[in-house]
Amino acid sequence: MLRTKGNHVSPSARRAARSGVALPMGLGLLATTCFATTFVLNRTMSVAGGSWMWSASLRYRD
C-alpha cells in the first residue's frame, strides 16, 4: 500500500509501485510477441501450401 502524507504520494512509494508492474508487463509483451509470431508463421505457411504438420506443431509450441 502506498504511504501518503495528505494527498501526496512519496517518491519511494511511487518507485515501489512502478517496479511491481514492470515485470508482469514485460512478460505480457513477450508472450504476445511470441503468439503473434507463431500466428504469422502459421498463416504464411498455410498460404504458401506448406505441410499442415509444421503448422500444427507451431500452434502447440507455446
pTM of the model: 0.53
Number of structural domains in the chain? 1
Cα–Cα distance for residue pair 41/57, rounded to 1 Å: 11
State which residues form the domain around 34. 4-59
* pLDDT tens digits for range 20-60: 788 899 999 999 999 898 888 888 888 888 887 877 776 67
Cα–Cα–Cα angle for 27, 57, 55, nearest 5°?
105
